[in-house]
Chain A
Amino acid sequence: MNAPTRQPDADIRELSYSEAIREAMGLALERDERVVLMGEDIGVYGGAFQVTGDLVERFGADRVMDTPISELGGAGVAVGAALTGLRPIYEFQFSDFAALAMEQIVNQAAKMRYMLGGEASVPVVFRMPAGSGTGAAAQHSQSFEAWFGHVPGLKVVQPSTPEDAKGLLLAALEDPDPVVMFEHKLLYKMKGHVPEGWYTTPIGKSAIRRHGKDVTIVASAIMVHRALAAAEKLAGEGIEVEIIDLRSVRPIDGDAIIGSVKKTGRLLCVYEGVRTLGIGAEISAMIAESEAFDFLDAPVLRLGGAEAPIPYNPDLEKAAVPQIPDIESAARRLARREV
C-alpha cells in the first residue's frame, strides 16, 4: 500500500497494478520460452487496459499474440497449448466475455486432470479485468469470482495490491493447474511497492491488511481499499477493525478467517459480486460450521452487489456495489451489536 507516512527509500520501488502485472509477464517471457501471451488487441494496441503495453515490442508478435475476436476458440487454444507443453496466459478483454468461453474453462480446463486420472495437466492462466465503476454498464462490469470459485479444478485469485498482482500472477504461472486471475479495473492505476525480480505470492493465503480486535472484515480486490477507508473512520470512534484481504477465492484461506473471528467475535464480508450465493455466503457458512461459531457476539453480515445487473446511470451504478459508507455503517452496527 502507498502509506502516506512512509519515507522515500531506495528499496521502495513503486509500480502501478497494471505495471506490476506487465512486469510479471515480462519476467515470465524472458525466463521461459514456453510462455506465450494470447488475447484480443494485446499487441500494438497494448491491451484494452494497457496491461500488456509494450510487451509485443520486446518479445514479438509470436509470443504476444493478438487473437481474432474468438473467446471460446482463443481460450480453448490456450487450454490445448497448456495441455501439450506451452504456458499460455490468456487475457480476456473484460471478464464478462469469459461467459463466451465457459465451455473451455469449466468443462475442459478445470476437469482435464481429474477426468484423465491425473495423467494430464493444464497449466493455463486466464486474466480477467473485472468489476464496475467505469460506466460501462451491464455487460462490461460484472464480478464473476464466485462463478469460477464454484468449479473444482480451477484456482481463483483476486489481488488487491500491485505487489500481489505480480506475485499471484507468477504463482499462477508456476502452478500446474488452471488459474483464473481477476484484476479489478479500478485498481489498474493504483500505485504501490512492488519488489524487483521473481517472487510469488502463495495461492490460497489471505493477508491481514489492518489489525483490530472489534470486528473482522473479509474483503477482496477494490473492497479491501474501501474497507480500509471505512476502518480509518471507525478508528476515530474507537472501533478497531481487522481487515483480511482474501486474495484467493479458491482455495479460500479458512484458517485465517476463523482465527480472526475467534478474536473479534464479529464478521462482515464485503465483496462486489452479487450478494446472494456469493463469496460471503461461503465464508458465513464456513464460520457457522467452525469452532469460531461459539465466539460470535453478533450475526454475520454480508455486503455484496445488488440483485441486479450493473446499471449505466452513475448514481445507480454506485448504489449497486458496496461503498465506503455502507461498509462503515455495517461495521459500526456490528460493533454496537445493532443487528
Chain B
Amino acid sequence: MSDDNRPFAIRKYDAARLRDALRKMYLIRFFEEGAEDSYMRGLIHGTMHLSIGQEASAVASCIGLTDEDKITSTHRGHGHCISKGAEVGRMFAEFFGKEEGYCHGRGGSMHIADVTKGNLGANGIVGGGLPIAVGAGLTAKRLNTGAVAICFFGDGANNEGAFHEALNMAAIWKLPVVFICENNKYGMSTSTERSTAVKNIAERAVAYAMPGHTVDGNDFSAVAETVETAIARARAGEGPSLIENLTYRWRGHSKSDRNRYRTKQEIDEWIARDPIQRFRKELIEHAILDESEAEKVATEARQEVEAGIEFAKSGTAPRVSDLARYVYAEENA
C-alpha cells in the first residue's frame, strides 16, 4: 500500500497524458457544440445525439488503451471516437457528407468509425455493438494479440436481448472485453426506474458471473481506475467485467426532444457537476498544470474545432455515380 492518496489518474499518468485527456474532453465538448451550431444553421442534415456532460466517461475509459485495442460505440458516440484518437476535421467532414469524412460521407454521425485506430464504429442500433465487441474479444484471444475490447452502450441498451447474450458469451469464453454502460438515467424518455428491473445495471454482472462496478461517471479518476482494473483482468485472461458509469446528458436525446420527461431542476443539478470543470480543477489542485495552461488547452481545442469545420466545409462531395460503391469489395482492389 502506498501512502499516496492523490486521485488514481494523477498517480498513474504523467502530465502530458493528463493534459491530453483534458484536451480531449474539451475537444468533445467543442466538437459537439460546433456540430449543434452547424445543424442549426442547416449545414448538417439528419439528426445527432450529443454527449455533452458525459465527457469524463468517454475519455477516462479510453486513457489506458492503445491503437491495437478495440472499442464499439453507440449513436451517442462522438466522445468515444475522439477519445480513441479521431481527428475532428474528418469527423466534421463526415457530418458534412464529404469524401474526406471517416465514412466518405456515407455514414454520418451515427456511423462514424476509425478502424485504423481500433474504433469499430458508432451504431444506429441500440445494443448493436455488444456482440460485436465480444467478437473482437474472441479475435484477440484466438490470435493472442493481447488487445482488449471496450464496449460502450447506454442504460437503455441493457434491456436488449443482445446485451444478455453478449455478456454470457464473453463470460463463458473468458474473453478480454470490458462492458461499459454509460448510465445517463434515460433511454430517450424512459428512465431506468421505468425500464430496468434492477436498481444498478452493474448488478446484472452477477447473472453472468463477472465483476460489476457502479462508478461516478463524472469523476475522471474513478472511471479510469475502475476501467484500468477491468482491463488488467481482461489482459490477464480472467475474462470480462461490467462497469456502469453514472452520468447525464445535458442535451435532449436527439434534435427532436422536448424534454418532457425530466425537470429543468434535474438538468441544472447535473450541469453544476460538469465533468470537465471537475477534472480541470483536479489537475490544477495537483499542480499538473496551472490556470493559464488549462486555459491554453481549452483555447487550442476550440481552435482545432474551428479548423475542423473549415476543413469539412472545403471537402469534396461524393459523386452520385459512386452511390453503390463500398457495397461489396472492389473487384481489382
Interface residues of A (CB under 8 A from B): 40-41, 43-46, 48, 66, 68-73, 96-97, 100, 134-140, 306-309, 311-316, 319-320
Contacts and interface: CB of A to CB of B under 8 A. Distances in A.
B105 A69 contact: no
B106 A41 contact: no
Interface stretch (B134-142, B172-180, B319-327): B319-327
Contact of A313 (B105, B127, B161, B256): B105
Given A311-B106, A312-B111, A69 B156 contact: yes
Contacts of B107: 137-138, 312
A73 B126 CA distance: 14
29 contacts: A40-B187, A41-B188, A44-B189, A44-B261, A45-B188, A45-B260, A68-B187, A69-B127, A69-B156, A69-B187, A73-B161, A97-B125, A134-B47, A135-B45, A135-B46, A135-B108, A136-B46, A137-B108, A139-B110, A139-B123, A139-B128, A140-B110, A308-B327, A309-B327, A312-B107, A313-B98, A313-B317, A314-B97, A315-B317
Contacts of B196: 68
Contacts of B161: 70, 72-73, 100
B45 A69 contact: no
Contacts of B160: 69-72, 100
B318 to A, nearest CB: 5
B189 A312 contact: no
B159 interface: yes
Contact of B124 (A70, A139, A311, A314): A139
Contacts of A73: 159, 161
A70 B195 CA distance: 10
Given A41-B190, A68-B195, A134 B105 contact: no
A327 B91 CA distance: 36
Interface in B103-161: 103, 105-108, 110-111, 123-128, 156-157, 159-161
A319 B323 contact: yes
Given A69-B156, A100-B160, A314-B97, A308 B189 contact: no
A71 B161 CA distance: 9
Contacts of A313: 97-98, 105-106, 108, 317-318
A316 B320 contact: yes
Contacts of B188: 40-41, 45, 48, 69
B264 interface: no
A66 B189 contact: yes
Contacts, number: 128
Contact of B47 (A44, A72, A135, A311): A135
A319 B194 CA distance: 42
Contacts of A96: 124-125
A134 B190 contact: no
Contacts of B98: 313
A137 B159 CA distance: 24
A325 to B, nearest CB: 13
Contacts of A137: 46, 106-108, 110-111, 124
Given A69-B195, A135-B108, A312-B105, 10 more contacts: A45-B189, A45-B261, A69-B127, A70-B159, A135-B47, A137-B107, A137-B108, A139-B125, A311-B318, A313-B106
A91 to B, nearest CB: 13
B189 to A, nearest CB: 4
Given A137-B107, A308-B324, A316 B318 contact: yes
Contacts of A316: 97, 105-106, 318, 320, 322-323
